[in-house]
A and B are shown apart, each in its own frame.
Chain A
Amino acid sequence: MKVAIVGCGQIADAHIQECRKIPGLDVAAVCDSSIHMAEQAALRFGICKSYTNLETMLKEVRPDVVHVTTPPASHLPIGKIALEHGSHVYVEKPLTVNVAEAEELIEVAVRKGKLVCVGHSNVFDGAFLRIKKLYEQGRLGRIFHVDALMGYDLGGTFGSVSMGDPTHWVHHLPGGLPQNNISHPLSLILEFLKDERPDIHAQGFRWRKERYGDQRDIFFDELRVLMTGKEVTASLLFSCRALPVQLLVVAHGTKGQAIANLDARTLRVVEGASLPGPFRKVEFAYRDAIQAMGEFRRHIGSLLSARLHFFEGMNELFRLFYLAIQGKGEMPIPMSEAHRTTAIMDGIFHQCQENDRERYEVTMSV
């Protein structure tokens, strides 16, 4: 199958590398509005064709699948053009800027009989898949609450780029920097919280000092969200203060708890103890130690057998998406799920802005 990458920024490198690991995929072309960006990707990865015009690329290359790795505001127009030209589309998260755009994109996909997959790749990370397996085996009982924490470093690779430029696209998203990131923890939560429209309470905070006098002072650097569904509740914390950067998920069940660290790729399960009184404390600590040792052994094994790839979840999501295209499996992230996530994100940012009305009006006038 022929693949084309549209948008040659940082994440495009990962898309090209992960596509190349999947037998039968050929990254045939790259496209970017900047010729320098398109050429650097083509040159470094030995891709013969690079374009600055999307329609020209689609007409000449006729890719089976287009990976959209551009800033979110362009996902809808690029996705629509690619679908209209007969390509399936993989879109980096967030799917679109808002739910109206998501509906429009999905409508075109349905009309053209094509698939759209959103890059909720953390759902396919090993540590999270292990939580789901424990749940399916019944070891956790019924999941009634999920906590998710995502740390973000404003001085990190992407953070420093966006903080160095008030015109950076991330500052023009309705939800600012968090909108580009919270689909990671949110997509994990929504694997358990299945309500179409859960009740949402969300609050945004700005803990950093104002120092620029422009858009960089406006976005929330911390988001606290409480979601209530019919059977499951969830809390989401996105924080630029939570360092080192981690993505943590805790699934609380009626029989046990599972705590996954998606960055460290570790899992800890807390189940009932059998010993009485103070011996219970020792038993819990013993179980923790045994599990930690098991994780250590697992990681050593993975290191020696070269299985600690950074984008393992993305690779698995690609693999499943390409199987679905060939009719050999279900869509790994159904389009309806991508739509639901976008609608819930809209709800979160709407609430944050409502709770910050005075400042929000200033934002809009900047």
Chain B
Amino acid sequence: MILVTGGTGFLGAPLVRKLVELGHYNIRCLVRPGTSADILRPILEGLPSAEVEIFPASFNDRAALKAAFHGVEIVYHAAASKSGSFPSMVANTVVGSENIYRACVEARVSRCVLVSSFGVIGVATLPKGAWVNEKVPMEAHPERRDPYSFSKHRQETLAWEYAKREGLPLVVVRPGVIFGPGGTVMTPRIGMKVFGVFLHLGGRNQIPLTYVENCAEAIALAGTVPGIVGEIFCIVDDDLPVSRYLLKRYDREVTPSPIVRIPYPLLKVLSKCNVWYTNRTKGHLPVVFSPYDLGSIWKGHRFSNKKAKEQLGWRPKVSMSDALKITFASLARAEKQKTAN
């Protein structure tokens, strides 16, 4: 039996699909109480009959988790908050995860695959152009990062604690920016919209994209490939595009907006001003980009998927050009719909 948390989400749904495609027919999706069983129908459409069941349980309900984990051998923990304040993301992502880890240990599962994030990697001190891979240590100052990276850092740190202390058979997968239809490709690594103007902060930086279906396959393999307990895998696709290319395509194919390109040296000055103003005015405006964020997100690094290819035998099946074509078409349709409404 395989148990998937977050199995109806943007990444979790393709993961469930991929598991069925790979021949795993006994899957249990742990979902929030009140979630309808119908939610699986579109996910499994066109696939051979598989026993995929919905198991509604709150992560905070330990008795329900015990029942959910009965007979489970492999766990994919893909559920996490995507947005919110620091406390709410920690409450949802970290506090809930501890109960999942504990349930894994109690149920003596043979493997727990944690879907972590690139946000946990300590890249701020790496030089421009350095490779980001599994060898780079975890972030030393997660509190200086955004709420998502902070909560994912604590979630993964806790998982390693459980692995060390309780023998949790852990495999960690750290995807880059997951994109695909229903999601977006316009990550903050490219820039952000402020008062209707798009501030292009990414310059010519490589963007660590991974197409949702490719990423789902890598995660599925991380649960089944033998002999990899205790390993970490960074997941990005091949032929990673640069920020400027993505922005140009978005502008042309989805929706145009005024773009102001901000070079890295100017960004450094602006971030210092931002921090100075916030401190001086006791938080009148938030810190949008701190010098630390700059080093982590916009300095310009390179991203490796070598280990995933070597040890998982994974290859991104959907090419980057096809994945971008599908995603931009989906974004254009959504934009058209929004305009029509």
Contact = CB atoms under 8 A, between A and B. Distances in A.
Interface of A: 8-10, 12-13, 17, 20-21, 34, 36-37, 40-41, 43-44, 157, 161, 164-167, 211-214, 216, 306-309
B86 interface: yes
21 contacts: A9-B87, A10-B87, A13-B85, A13-B86, A21-B282, A34-B91, A36-B91, A36-B94, A36-B154, A41-B87, A43-B142, A157-B88, A161-B88, A161-B91, A165-B32, A165-B33, A212-B33, A306-B281, A307-B284, A309-B283, A309-B284
Interface string B132-156: 0000000000110000001000100
B47 to A, nearest CB: 27
B143 A43 contact: yes
B316 to A, nearest CB: 33
Given A212-B34, A213-B34, A309-B283, A161 B92 contact: yes
Contacts of A164: 32
A40 B154 contact: yes
A309 B87 contact: no
Given A166-B33, A212-B34, A306-B284, A37 B95 contact: yes
Interface of B: 32-34, 58, 60-61, 84-88, 90-92, 94-95, 98, 142-143, 150, 154, 158, 280-284
A40 B98 contact: no
Nearest to A12: B87
Given A21-B282, A157-B85, A306-B284, A37 B91 contact: yes
Given A17-B282, A40-B90, 6 more contacts: A13-B86, A36-B94, A36-B98, A40-B150, A157-B84, A161-B88
**What secondary structure prevails in chain B residues at the interface with A?**
helix
Contacts, number: 74
Contacts of A216: 34
Given A21-B282, A166-B58, A167-B60, A10 B85 contact: yes
Contacts of A8: 87
A307 B87 CA distance: 26
Contacts of B284: 306-309
Contacts of B85: 10, 13, 157
A161 B92 CA distance: 9
Q: Which of A41, A167, A216, A307 has the most CB of B within 10 A?
A: A167
A286 to B, nearest CB: 31
Nearest to A69: B87
Nearest to B142: A43
A165 B60 contact: yes
Given A40-B154, A161-B88, A211 B58 contact: no
A167 B64 CA distance: 12
Nearest to B280: A306
Contacts of B150: 40, 44
Given A164-B32, A212-B34, A44 B86 contact: yes
B171 to A, nearest CB: 22
Contacts of A309: 282-284
Contacts of A157: 84-85, 88
A20 B88 CA distance: 22
Q: Which 10 pairs from chain A and chain B are nearest by CB?
A: A212-B34, A306-B281, A306-B284, A40-B90, A36-B94, A44-B143, A43-B143, A10-B87, A21-B282, A9-B87
Given A161-B92, A212-B33, A306-B281, A167 B87 contact: no
B91 A9 contact: yes
A20 B282 CA distance: 9
Contacts of A44: 86, 143, 150
Given A13-B86, A165-B58, A214 B91 contact: no
Contacts of A166: 33-34, 58
A40 B87 contact: yes
Nearest to B98: A36
A306 to B, nearest CB: 4
Nearest to B60: A167
Nearest to B89: A40
Contact of A36 (B33, B34, B90): B90
A40 B91 CA distance: 10
Contact of A214 (B33, B94, B98, B280): B33
Contacts of B94: 36, 40
Contacts of B87: 8-10, 12-13, 37, 40-41
A37 B32 contact: no
A213 B34 CA distance: 7
Contacts of B33: 165-167, 212, 214
B188 to A, nearest CB: 19
Contacts of B98: 36
Nearest to A307: B284
A21 B85 CA distance: 21
B92 A36 contact: no
A212 B61 CA distance: 17
Contacts of B142: 43
Contacts of B280: 306
Contact of A40 (B58, B86, B282): B86
Contacts of B58: 165-167
Contacts of B143: 43-44
A214 B34 contact: yes
Q: Which of A164, A213, A214 has the most CB of B within 10 A?
A: A164
B194 to A, nearest CB: 15
B39 to A, nearest CB: 12
B151 to A, nearest CB: 8
A156 to B, nearest CB: 11
